[in-house]
Amino acid sequence: RQRILSGMQPSAGSLHLGNYLGALVHWVRLQETYDAVFFIPDLHAITVPQDPAELAQRTRTTAAQYIAGGVDPERATLFVQSHVPEHAQLAWVLNCLTGFGEASRMTQFKDKSSKQGSDSASVGLFTYPILQAADILLYQPDGVPVGEDQRQHVELSRDLAQRFNSRFGETFVVPKPFIQKDSAKIYDLQNPTAKMSKSASSAAGLVNLLDDPKVSAKRIRSAVTDDGSEIRFDRAAKPGISNLLAIFSSLTGRTVEDLEAAYEGRMYGHLKVDLAAAVADTLGPVRVRAEELLSDPAELDRLLALGAAKARDLAAPTLAAVYERVGFLPVA
Ligand code: ATP
Ligand code: MG
């Protein structure tokens, strides 16, 4: 079987609708036919300042949401990145193969560091995509399901795999990005030209998996809409309404054309009420299941320990080959 690998940062108390529709639902489908590796990148979460107690809690909460959303810890390999030291070890080697200029071109660093002020941005944030390349290449996956926002990072991991292979001999599978073409990018409800993001400066534009459905309904009712009154998909002229239509379509499987026809002559408020109901129908059961899982942290930790053992069995041979090829003296 071919292998895929993906992860979502434990950078907030809850995943949001973009993470769910843009990633989790695809993972659940892919684990049926692929050997799937899903992890929680906690090493990445400390590239920006973190609260230690919160990080540990968020790591568990993220794991619970993966499982509640349908990731099967028996079938897939589900683990926490820091439980597998090979990630940091391979990242160092890849750091030494990456050009400074090459790393400087990564747009996520530019976006995230400009939010923090580039003097206070950490070197870890700068090398984030190289750690991500290590995450990927350790497991020799064929495909990396990610959103469009991650395409550039997967390209970097391909470049580094090819560079290593040509300099030191065939070692890595060169992975392909699996960009879900049919999956909408979800935008912030208050700022519908920016993507919905865990690290958004305000929660008002987010629909979170773990929020009370009443909170989500309120945020959807308060979503920024556009001038005029027509319910029509037009990203340039009507980014707010287009975002709501795209979310509605992804949640229900109805096409945007079908929704436009159904809401012809009706008001923005009607669309918002129905969308809030669709969100509650889909996310309600996920939230309930996640809360069940979180009520037994020992069991969740046990599942993660099993996942870490499976992951190390996959990662260790890759790192051993890398160490040998770069010329590190083996332990006698
Ligand atoms: P952060 O703000 O901490 O970067 P994030 O919300 O961007 O968080 P990530 O952990 O970076 O989430 O991404 C996890 C997965 O979710 C990736 O596959 C990414 O492509 C997808 N994703 C993130 N935001 C969206 C979105 N708004 N729409 C669709 N997919 C998204
Ligand atoms: Mg992100």
State pLDDT tens for residues 239-268: 999 999 999 999 999 999 999 999 999 999
The answer to whether residue 149 scores a pLDDT higher than 90 is no
Q: What is the pLDDT of residues 266-318, one digit of tens each?
A: 999 999 999 999 999 999 999 999 999 999 999 999 999 999 999 999 999 99
Can you tell me which atom of ligand 1 is nearest the CA of 45? Answer: 3
The answer to whether residue 199 scores a pLDDT higher than 90 is no
The conformational region for residue 169 under phi > 0 = left, psi -120 to 50 = alpha, else beta, is: left
The answer to whether residue 183 scores a pLDDT higher than 80 is no
Whether the CB of 23 sits within 6 Å of ligand 1 = yes
What percent of the residues of the chain are helix, what percent strand, and what percent coil, each to the nearest 5? Answer: 55, 10, 35
Ligand 1 centre to CA of 264 (Å) is 32
Helix axes 213-221, 268-294, angle to 10 degrees: 150
Q: What is the pLDDT of residue 85?
A: 98
Whether the CB of 22 sits within 6 Å of ligand 1 = yes
Tell me, yes or no, if 195 is annotated catalytic. yes
Residues in CB range of 11: below 8 A, 6 or more apart:
44, 45, 48, 58, 198, 199
Determine contact, residues 185/146, Cβ cutoff 8 Å: no
The pTM for the full model equals: 0.94
Tell me, yes or no, if 181 is annotated catalytic. no
Q: How many CB atoms lie within 10 A of CB 263?
A: 19
Mean pLDDT value of segment 189-205 = 93
What are the helix and strand counts (H, E) for the chain? 14, 5
The answer to whether residue 225 scores a pLDDT higher than 80 is yes
Backbone φ and ψ for 195, nearest 5 degrees, come out as -70, 150
The answer to whether residue 182 scores a pLDDT higher than 80 is no
Task: Please give the angle made by the CA atoms of 154, 156 and 158, to the nearest 5 degrees.
Answer: 75
Distance CA 195, CA 183 (A): 14
Give the side-chain half-sphere CA count within 13 A for 63.
Answer: 31
Q: Does ipTM surpass 0.95 in this model? A: yes
